[in-house]
Structure 1
Amino acid sequence: MQGTEVHDDAERSAYEITVDGVHAGHAFRELRDGRTVFTHTEIDDAFGGRGIGGELARGALDDVRAQGGLVVPECDFLAGWIARHPDYLDLVDPADRDRVRALAG
């Protein structure tokens, strides 16, 4: 999406997305046992319905992939997004893959 940027907001333990330099949302995370656990995703109401959440998910997951990590998607939004984009399923900790696959229905 044009004008969006996803970056690591280490102070908030989250990935942040901006649209044309304006904060649009966060994907909050914790590091547990060497895995990135996504706990909650928030998109500002002003940016809802524009696919910003998907851009945030893609950017955050691409960063984890670049670092060679695994994720545990506790956040329902992120787990559902991965279920609809199975090319990201390899990033999910093997113990959680069946749960995420089931969300694809």
Structure 2
Amino acid sequence: MEFEKEGYRFYKNDESGKLLAEVTYEPNGEDKVSLTHTFVDASLRGQGVAEQLVDRLAAEMKEEGKKIVPVCSYAVALFKRKSDKYKDIIAKCSK
């Protein structure tokens, strides 16, 4: 699935402009971002769309030389469940 980028988010709208999926993030210092929110409309759930959004953000951050601090519950669970896949992009939370 192709996603659009706007500000600090990647997203997908349907033909009428309704938001179908998005991932949002915030700058966190010079070399990190915090992944703060994921959303997938009920019509797309169970199809791996949220992970695709996270993968798109991960690819962008790798290009920029930045790490991701998972903040939203989905990202925390995904990064834990697939730690090998994301090991090079995960930043540790400074709490």
The size of the alignment, in residue pairs, is: 89
CA distance in 2, matches of 1:5, 1:18: 10
Aligned mates of 1:65, 1:18 — CA distance in 2: 25
Give ranges in structure 2 of 5+ residues lacking alignment.
none
| TM-score with structure 2 setting the length | 0.78
Task: Output the aligned Cα RMSD.
Answer: 2.0
Identity across aligned pairs (percent)? 18
* Alignment partner of 1:63 is 2:60: yes
Alpha-carbon distance in structure 2 between the residues aligned to 1:18 and 1:89:
30
Q: Which runs of 4+ in 1 moved over 3 A?
A: 17-20
Distance 2:2 2:52 in 1: 9
Q: Which blocks of at least 5 consecutive residues in structure 1 are unaligned?
A: 97-105
Instruction: Indicate the larger mover: 57-66 or 84-93.
Output: 84-93
Q: Which of 9, 15, 28 does residue 10 from structure 2 map onto?
A: 15
